[in-house]
Chain A
């Protein structure tokens, strides 16, 4: 199998031919593994990589079992992006550990990234659990200059378990807290002075691998003149091979004050055959190459054999994989060769780059091909290649690189390419560079449509379109970016309109466009209170996201779909979307929890809680807890605390509920969603329930809430709390205000088809009328609320209103309106936080609420998976419950359990579900 170019990134380089052992240095490296970091810092050509490679090979030969696992990353300029950098590092560690660790951390670097610290914390846990000795080598770290990467690496080094050691080869000191590490003895350093060859090492090298016979004086002269610089010594050795009078050559070299690498490289190149010299000059434009790529560039054959031959001859070739398929030149030597190429044949490089681009394109390395096409000055070809790789770049979220390429194109080349120009606009929008976008969008329209009002089915002849499907998607793409621009400008109506236009214009296969346009329009409609429009748009978005495989984003949108359902009073609809999203997550995530699954469980918990299934809600929150923070989306930290607070409230633990809401305020992250249920409002509501008016008054003042406000969806929740506050004040003026406010809220909620809000307004109107001593009307209004609420099983919406609600519900019960449901509501309201359990006399260990739920379902015809599904738990959880039930009832099968339960009267017929 052919090694791919990418795999060479984390391949531990094989030991270099012709390298000499340097025990004084390898000894220091071995001793250094007790420290956190080994820094090998010296200029190009000092033998940093060779030293590390050799040391690894050596300790492996010494004892393969005791040698640490080696994770190696060869860095280059393109790795200067946090996600890319950590992807390579974690992959290297994963491979070093034979795939046993790192999978979850790696998964977190996929689209919708959490803060990288979360992934890194997981990686550190993995490494701790792995337990084996490991070294992580970061070669050429000087190419990294992003501060985020330095900071994160510093964090990782600080928290590494003792059995993991980082080694860094670099030409410049990295901006890590080196002096602190030095002071604490956490740092081992090998610097230029250490890496310079001593006279003895120079003698070993020149007489050993180089096979030269030189006098001690000649060796001393060479070592002095090269100052022990490995690359120069190697060049010197090469230039001395097969000389009749080496001493004369050494003397001439010593007396010359040219830059030593210039002098020696001239000598070495002059001694190569024409073929070899030409091969070196032609291939030096390549960063990494194999035999076939070399053949394409030189226009000859035999490249693979030539490369092996060059390595044997010591001509600065670095093998990048075990099979010696991929290679690179030593950086310094490549620079020297490029300068020679430029001097001798200044016009040749573009042609060579062009051939390289063709080969790379044909072999599927399109991104590499783009770089060479740009270097060749073949901008049209480069632009074609960009257009071909555009979708993949977008899917991999590498827009910054795409933008970097496009910026290298001359303006006229880009102007002829509407599809690429639109991708560039996407990259600019991604980077929040909105200033020129409208102008660019109009320019694309103008160049495609000309004076006509309609889009041509095929591109006009003067334009270049490589990606035909991209051309078909242009009108929809333009509308999508217009929607984004309108949203950035705060124009909700405009956003929704452009989003609708985009969705109607998008070809069915343009999933990314549907995903983006749907999300933009959904957000705008939702913020404006148009729930049906928002639901339709988000549903489109979810379909598009699922089709391109952005599953965490699907779950993110599902949070919103669930919220919309709940506002519309469709609790079962909300459960349905959470459930389907979890099914999708199960199916797509290869057995690992998908990021966002924690949020689905929080959503389910909220619905179960509303239905007064406190045990079920608690269980869902526990699942969320087990999944951990890294499986939650940005809103999760605050949302799960809100649901936990309501659960605590429902069980009568106000102190805990308040503490959780306080935490939720600090943990708030809206993740670009409108804040329709602000946590401070929830806190004011809880305070009111405890009879504390003062904090609630303060909250209303602080948020400038007034009964005269125009009703708006965004403030609806706050207005509902304000109404509760006004009712609680009990003075006539406040009651009048509450009455007008609720009247207007009812109309607005009704018009917005927000049934959930309608029920809540009716509940409050009932309480208000009760306060006004108008019991008949209070009961009539509440009866309407009960009518609307029964089908979806609302309970807490009534029960959380306390004693006044109990009075009203008793009134309804007397009128025999919806009696079984009203009795249930009354039970829950009067329970006052005390969960009523059925009698469990005769059992040593009583069954928990949840076990009773399972038991009730065991008495039905449902099978295990159905029961699990009904209770929104995994089959495993449900089996654990069954086992506990069997143990407590002292039976060993389902039928016996049901029989026993019936005898003990644990299955009251009235509560069977």
Chain B
């Protein structure tokens, strides 16, 4: 059986994206649908949900556009 919940087929759901560098507060509204938190280890964590894979890729592209190095992308709503 497929271990993924049905709603993941389109890549929708919640994700946590960790990037290197502590992003300033002004970027908080830059990434549509994501909240930014700064755990204090020199990284920034973006948490939020997307409607499909394309939206996720769009967010990753925005991150790449800033030249911020990507550390990890983790789906967070696995049951």
Contact = CB atoms under 8 A, between A and B. Distances in A.
A258 interface: yes
A44 B69 CA distance: 11
B49 interface: no
A266 B21 CA distance: 15
A262 interface: yes
A904 interface: no
Contacts of B22: 257-259, 262
A163 interface: no
A46 B44 CA distance: 22
Interface stretch (A338-346, A730-738, A814-822): A338-346
B44 to A, nearest CB: 7
B67 A43 contact: yes
| Interface residues of chain A: helix, strand, loop or mixed (majority) | helix
B26 interface: yes
B51 interface: no
A342 B29 contact: yes
Nearest to B28: A343
B64 interface: yes
A261 B64 CA distance: 13
B70 to A, nearest CB: 10
B27 A339 contact: yes
Contacts of A45: 67
Contacts of A340: 26
A260 B21 contact: yes
Contacts of B5: none
B23 interface: yes
B30 A261 contact: no
Contacts of B42: 257
B66 A332 contact: yes
Given A43-B67, A331-B65, A259 B23 contact: yes
Nearest to B24: A262
Contacts of B24: 258-259, 262, 266, 339
Interface in B9-58: 21-27, 29-30, 42, 44
A259 B26 contact: no
B11 to A, nearest CB: 16
Interface residues of A, number: 22
Contacts of A266: 24
A44 B26 contact: no
Contacts of A17: none
Interface string A698-722: 0000000000000000000000000
Contacts of A61: none
Interface in A29-53: 43-46
B29 to A, nearest CB: 6
B35 to A, nearest CB: 16
Interface in B56-77: 64-68
A257 B23 CA distance: 9
Contacts of A342: 26, 29-30
A262 B23 CA distance: 7
B21 A171 contact: no
A332 B67 contact: yes
Given A258-B21, A259-B21, A259-B44, A172 B26 contact: no
Interface string A307-348: 000000000000000000000000110010001101100000
B21 A44 contact: no
A231 B67 contact: yes
Contact of B67 (A229, A257, A258, A339): A229
A117 B22 CA distance: 48
Contacts, number: 53
Nearest to A263: B24
Given A342-B26, A343-B25, A44 B64 contact: yes
A257 B38 CA distance: 11
B61 to A, nearest CB: 8
Interface residues of B, number: 16
Nearest to B42: A257
Contacts of B65: 44, 171, 331-332, 335
Contact of B30 (A46, A171, A339): A339
B67 A261 contact: yes
Nearest to A334: B65
Interface in A341-397: 342-343
A472 to B, nearest CB: 42
Given A258-B24, A262-B24, A339-B26, A171 B44 contact: no
Contacts of B29: 342
Given A332-B66, A332-B67, A257 B21 contact: yes
Contacts of B66: 44, 259, 261, 332, 335
A259 B21 CA distance: 4
A172 B64 contact: yes
A211 B65 CA distance: 29
Q: Which of B23, B24, B29 has the most CB of A within 10 A?
A: B24
Contacts of B67: 43-46, 229, 231, 261, 332
B67 to A, nearest CB: 5
Nearest to A45: B67
A564 B42 CA distance: 77
A231 B26 CA distance: 19
Nearest to B65: A44
A343 B26 contact: yes
A621 to B, nearest CB: 51
B68 to A, nearest CB: 6
Nearest to B22: A258
B30 A259 contact: no
Contacts of B23: 258-259, 262
Nearest to A227: B69
Nearest to B40: A257
Nearest to B21: A259
Interface in A1-55: 43-46
Contacts of A332: 65-67
Contacts of B26: 262, 339-340, 342-343
Contacts of A46: 67
A339 B26 CA distance: 6
A248 to B, nearest CB: 22
A523 B27 CA distance: 57
Nearest to B70: A43
Nearest to B25: A343
A59 to B, nearest CB: 29
Contacts of A257: 21-22, 42
Given A44-B67, A258-B22, A261-B67, 15 more contacts: A43-B64, A171-B65, A257-B21, A259-B22, A259-B66, A262-B22, A262-B23, A332-B65, A332-B67, A339-B26, A339-B30, A340-B26, A342-B26, A342-B29, A343-B26
Interface of B: 21-27, 29-30, 42, 44, 64-68
14 contacts: A44-B64, A45-B67, A46-B67, A171-B65, A172-B64, A229-B67, A231-B67, A258-B21, A258-B24, A259-B22, A259-B23, A262-B26, A332-B67, A343-B25
